[in-house]
Chains A and B, each alone.
Chain A
Amino acid sequence: MGPRRRLRERGLALALLLPSIAVFGTFVFYPFVRTFWLGFFETDPFGGNERWVGFSQYTDTITSASFRNSLWVTLKFTLLTVPVGLALGIGLALLAHQRLRGVTIYRTIFSSTVATSVAVASLMFVSLLSPSVGLINQTLKWLGRDAIFFLQSPGWALVSISAVTVWQNLGIIFIVVSAGLQSLPDDLYESARLDGASAWSQFVEITLPLLSPTLLFGFVVLTITSFQTFGQVDLLTNGGPLEATNLIVFSIFETAFRDFDPGRAAAQAVVLFFILLALTLVQFKVLERRVFYGR
């Protein structure tokens, strides 16, 4: 290739990339660098009057008891939502994969939570979980049991937030796993039936290994979204009671917009970024050995 042609191709490549560079630059790269930089400054409530404080806000964040609590709550939340969400998604996808009359209706229902916003999901759960008028407590009352304060007691609040989240995530996991199941050839299962494999053994020996790339994807994405959860907490519990649901992104939000400390919030956000990065790398490293990508 001549140098002129190479130059022309470079120009074309740059022109084609420009729109996405502009969008990503404005909404991702610049804010990211800016956040990282902001973490080194103490500011007034509006982000002005910057004063250089070096790494002190970062070290404060890592050592702060409140941040550590948020991290711990987020970890518990992840453990409550990710495995349950994946398992339920797989279960529903397997059910809807059966060739039954009217199964498309169920497919639509199962995937519908994708089209539901966090706000709607939260409101629905309020009407389920409310101590006085909620459906569950009405039922408990009818059974002669005491009401449960799902969103108000420290023991139940995180579980309740997790339930909303699992429900909300179900649609996307259902869709992804269903797509994965569609790609598995029927004759493998026919062969396994002739070989005498039970339904459970077909699931363990064939379905799970061949779905493993899909499941790894679902696992990583669910983990990341659970670390980024905000809406449910903001709408249902405000991080309480007693910080029992003070998930990490909610606590960053509070630092920035209730304590009016953008610099510290930026430092917390950067720490969260590195935690997620490390977590994702570990997930890939550990799990990829068990994933079969074909060939």
Chain B
Amino acid sequence: MAGVTFLETTKRFDGVVALDRLSLDIADGEFLVLVGPSGCGKSTALRIIAGLEEPTSGSLHIGGVDVTDVEPQDRDLAMVFQSYALYPHKTVRQNIEFPLKSRKVPAGQRRDEAGAAAALLGLADLMDRRPGQLSGGQRQRVALARALVRRPEVFLMDEPLSNLDAKTRVQTRAELSELHESLGATFIYVTHDQVEAMTMGTRIAVMIEGRLQQVGVPDEVYDRPANLFVAGFIGSPPMNTVVAAAMRHEGAMLLQLGTGSFELPEAHAAAVEALGIDAVVIGIRPEHLRVGDGPIGSLVRIVESLGHERHVVCELAGTDEHPGEIVPGTLVIVRQSSEDVAPRVGESIRLGAEPRHLHLFDPDTGERIDP
């Protein structure tokens, strides 16, 4: 059993907090993706698991054992680096054999196990080449083979796909998921790419500014983002967020957005009232905005066709007629199927969305408001 647990783990570099009291339980055999923008502390978290960084306070446990003071080589884990960190002067075979050689595995067994790892990743024909003679994708496989040759309980991966071209990346993504299935080991994967997080993780942990924002299965994080940070980070194009005034009118709670307004379901209304706030941030995913009928008037600014879909950037109409209102974002993005009728730039359109697709956030704390 090799689950990984952070307990109030904090890391400071020269007074700068890179990781702020992280507590996270990663189950044995899980594929956990740590995702967040650069500088969010995800790589620091990974390096603390590896033992390459020491936490300033708090502890780290692997398989239930406190390993905070255990040396990297004694933690039974392997890491794939962003740069791959292949030994440039060694052949593919020597690279893959190196972890075994370091652990004094006899030459014959070394050869067999390296051969098996190489075969698993389709490297059998490249064993005598040097890393400099390989493509990016091949190098990445060598790094993977070197990681799995020891059959460690935990695999750590630090942005392993970021140096690959788009096509190889998609392919490798699928292969990594398969590898995880077949090995049954714990995978902890760091990326800034939310597509990788969504497609590969059995759970994803979103980090921003050194803090863990939300952990959950990908759909949960996408459908119920815990706060504005997560809402803006997961999803591409990102979730639209607009501040709207909330007021009671004849018993119902209305949200005023530009020139339009709509009624909030009562359960939500009660939650907003309980917080005692008179404005909320509305979040709507671009694919949930409907063009045609709806309460929100807007002006088409940009139309981008991506072939299979279309992004329409609209400016909310009437927002400048209410100078007293807080309007953080007056631009919203609508995601359409390419089969829908394309609006023209400059055209006035009306936007609407189903109430169940609305996300509400507290404008002061950024936290999600749930009924």
A residues contacting B by CB (< 8 A) are 185, 187-188, 190-198, 201, 205-206, 209-210, 292, 294-295
Inter-subunit contact B132/A294 (CB<8 Å): yes
B78 at interface by CB-CB < 8 Å: yes
Contact B89 A197 (CB under 8 A): no
Binds A, one of B57-65, B97-105, B198-206, B259-267: B97-105
B87 interface residue per 8 A CB criterion: yes
Contact bitstring B112-147, A, C-beta under 8 A = 1, else 0: 000000000000000000101100000000000010
Contact present for A294 and B73 (CB under 8 Å): no
Q: Is B184 an interface residue (CB 8 A)?
A: no
Cβ contact of A210, chosen from B51, B89, B102, cutoff 8 A: B89
Q: Are B81 and A187 in contact (CB under 8 A)?
A: yes
- Taking a contact as CB atoms under 8 Å apart, the answer to whether A194 and B88 are in contact is no
Q: Are A205 and B73 in contact (CB under 8 A)?
A: no
Q: In the complex, which residues of chain B have a beta carbon less than 8 angstroms from the beta carbon of A292?
A: 88-89
Identify A197's interface contact among B83, B88, B98, B132, CB under 8 A.
B98
| Min distance, Cβ B326 to any Cβ of chain A, angstroms | 46
Query: Is B363 at the interface (CB under 8 A from chain A)?
Result: no
B358 touches A (CB below 8 Å) = no
Residues on A with C-beta less than 8 A from B77 are 194
Known A190-B52, A295-B130: A209·B79 in contact at CB below 8 Å: no
Bound CA span A290–B49, Å: 37
Q: How many chain-B residues does the 8 Å CB contact rule pick out?
A: 24
Kindly provide the distance from the CB of B140 to the nearest chain A CB, expressed in whole angstroms: 14
Residues of the A chain whose Cβ atoms lie less than 8 Å from the Cβ of B235:
none
A206: chain B residues within 8 A (beta carbon): 87
Q: With A191-B79, A210-B89, A295-B132 in contact, do A205 and B72 touch (Cβ < 8 Å)?
A: no
Residue in B50, B73, B133 with the greatest tally of chain A CB atoms within 10 Å: B73
Tell me whether A190 and B73 are in contact in the complex, defined as CB-CB below 8 angstroms, given that A195-B98, A196-B99 are known contacts: no
> Does B70 sit at the interface, judged by CB under 8 A?
no
Q: A205-B87, A295-B130 are in contact. Are A191 and B81 (CB under 8 A)?
A: yes
Nearest Cβ on chain B to A180's Cβ, whole angstroms: 14
Q: Is the CB of A187 within 8 A of B132?
A: no
Are A194 and B78 in contact (CB-based, < 8 A)?
yes
Is B170 engaged at the interface, CB distance under 8 Å to the other chain? no
Q: How far is the CA of A201 from the CA of B77 in the complex (A)?
A: 19
**CB-defined contacts of A190 to chain B, threshold 8 Å:** 50, 52, 72, 79, 81, 85
Note all chain A residues with C-beta closer than 8 A to B85.
185, 187-188, 190-191
Distance in Å: Cβ of B157 to nearest Cβ of chain A: 12
B62 to chain A, nearest CB (A): 13
Measured CB to CB, the closest approach of chain A to B76, in angstroms, equals 10
Give the 6 A-B CB pairs with smallest separation, nearest first: A195-B99, A191-B85, A295-B132, A292-B89, A196-B73, A196-B102
Once the chains are docked, how many angstroms separate the CA of A210 from the CA of B146? 20
Residue with the greatest number of chain A CB neighbours at <10 A, chosen from B52, B132, B150: B52
Contact B52 A193 (CB under 8 A): yes
Instruction: Determine whether the beta carbon of A205 is less than 8 Å from that of B52.
Output: no
Between A and B, 29 residue pairs with Cβ closer than 8 Å are: A185-B85, A187-B83, A187-B85, A188-B85, A190-B50, A190-B52, A190-B81, A191-B79, A193-B51, A194-B72, A194-B73, A194-B77, A194-B99, A195-B102, A195-B146, A195-B150, A196-B99, A196-B103, A197-B102, A198-B102, A201-B102, A205-B87, A205-B98, A206-B87, A210-B88, A292-B88, A294-B88, A295-B88, A295-B133
| Contact A185-B83, Cβ < 8 Å, known A190-B52, A205-B98 | yes
In the assembled complex, which residues on chain A have CB atoms less than 8 Å from the CB atom of B132?
A: 294-295
Measured CA separation A185–B82 after assembly (Å): 13
A190 vs B73: C-alpha distance in the bound complex, in angstroms? Answer: 10
Q: Which B residues lie within 8 Å of A187 (CB)? A: 81, 83, 85
Asked, given contacts A201-B102, A210-B89, A295-B130, whether A195 binds B83 with beta carbons under 8 Å apart, the answer is no
Neighbouring A residues of B98 by C-beta, 8 Å: 192, 195, 197, 205
What residue of chain A has the Cβ atom nearest to residue B94's Cβ? A205
Q: Which residue of B lies closest to A210 (CB)?
A: B89
For A187, the closest partner residue in chain B by CB is B85
In the complex, what distance in Å separates the CA atom of A187 from the CA atom of B72? 13
Considering only residues 189-219 of chain B, those with a C-beta below 8 Å from chain A are: none
